Amino acid sequence: MTKELRVGFIGAGLIATYHSKSLRRSGIEATHGVVRTGVYDPDTARTEAFAAASGHTAMASEQAVLDSCDAVYICTWTSEHRRLVAAAAERGLAIFCEKPLAISLDLAREMTETVLATGVTNQVGLVLRRSPVYLWAKHLIDSPDAGRVMSVVFRDDQFIPIQGHYSSTWRADKRLAGAGTLLEHSIHDVDMLRFLVGDVARVSANSANFHGHDGIEDVVSACLAFSTGATGVLTSVWHDNLARPSLRRVEVFCERRHIVIDGDDWFGPVSWVDHDGVTGSLESDELVAAVVPLRDGTDNPDGEFIRATVEGRAATPDFTTALRAHEIVDAMYRSAATDGAMVMIDDA
């Protein structure tokens, strides 16, 4: 690695723009010698707009971007991830890959094996693992005062992202997306259920398709049994109510504490009620300050990726973490395909 860290982007849509802005906000570019190099998207206008806004250089191919950088963001539609991860790993580049890793569990496993074999720094866009909301909720859950987790109710809804400000029309195409709301969106939620409660032992799920896009489910309801003995319910919905972008409500019932996440994914609020009647609620700056001692590094996922790459160490969350979420999602799909039959999670 040179003193400068050359960073490129493949894909220049909404999520790439998010990471580019997040990288800027982290302040790490100046402290860690980040140089923005190439960007490529099949949509030339999008490439040029991204380059003009971010300081990257518009390039004519993926190959040119990969040849220009030491670390690459892969922010394409899901079906392209496997090919691009393999090409980047072959060059020894650090890799930030958007979630989900792949359109199938087998491909996600193959990708994970590839990055582990090459030893490159790798990170996945499961950004909620650095959210103050979920860090504080986990702190409340893990406290001995809470007792054991008994049950969790997790609802996630948003308007189907082929419209509105998402404008990701490719998410209606199974060849590009792999599946619908569970894989493309609620893999975040599955990861958070593991983060908050623990490993999942078995699942039962049902799905529906109201929009009629082949292979793109827009409703999933799943029951989960955790290895700890806790139970859970996940409901994921893609609707057409444009007044409701991505919104989550999470309730965690512990033996002696009830915790509610409702509102912004990053700034809360997070509220709780204890067995003795004591209540609390944190949000915004107060919440951000409260989780500072709980962090294992930066609160910025993109800052974490750059720092890990420069230091030559593992980043988090990595492909291995993402693969575990894929295994649970795959089990839910298999259950839904058999009318909700119970499916065991291997090695739970």
| CATH code, domain with 251 | 3.30.360.10
Residue 22's CB is within 10 A of a number of other CB atoms, namely: 15
Residue 58 β-bridge partners: 39
- For the residues of 108-136, what is the DSSP string, one character each? HHHHHHHHHHHT--EEE--GGGG-HHHHH
290 and 254 share one domain: yes
Pair 39, 188 in one domain: no
Asked if 122 and 145 sit in the same domain, the reply is no
What whole-number distance in Å separates Cα of residue 113 and Cα of residue 319? 9
Do 25 and 140 lie in one domain? The reply is no
Task: State whether 143 and 282 are in the same domain.
Answer: yes
At 105, which CATH number? 3.40.50.720
The reply to whether 102 and 196 lie within a common domain is no
Do 174 and 115 share a structural domain?
A: no
Do 206 and 250 have their domain in common?
yes
For residues 37 and 70, give the distance between their C-alpha atoms in angstroms, rounded to a whole number.
10
Per-residue tens of pLDDT for the chain, all 348 residues: 447 999 999 999 999 999 999 999 999 999 999 999 999 999 999 999 999 999 999 999 999 999 999 999 999 999 999 999 999 999 999 999 999 999 999 999 999 999 999 999 999 999 999 999 999 999 999 999 999 999 999 999 999 999 999 989 999 999 999 999 999 999 999 999 999 999 999 999 999 999 999 999 999 999 999 999 999 999 999 999 999 999 999 999 999 999 999 999 999 999 999 999 999 999 999 999 999 999 877 789 999 999 999 999 999 999 999 999 999 999 999 999 999 999 999 864
Q: Which residues contact 203 (CB under 8 A, 6 or more apart)?
A: 222, 223, 224, 225, 328, 331, 332, 335, 342, 343, 345
Query: Per residue in 144-176, pLDDT tens?
Result: 999 999 999 999 999 999 999 998 999 999 999
Compute the distance between CA of residue 306 and CA of residue 96 in angstroms, rounded to an integer.
Answer: 10
Look up the domain containing 243 and give its range.
Answer: 131-296+325-344
Choose among 248, 260, 228: nearest CA to 147.
228
What is the domain count for the chain?
2
Q: Do 198 and 247 sit in the same domain of this protein?
A: yes
Beta strands in the chain (DSSP E): 5-10, 34-40, 57-58, 71-74, 94-97, 122-124, 149-159, 200-208, 219-226, 231-239, 247-254, 257-264, 268-274, 279-282, 343-344
- Cα 317 from chain centroid (whole Å): 9
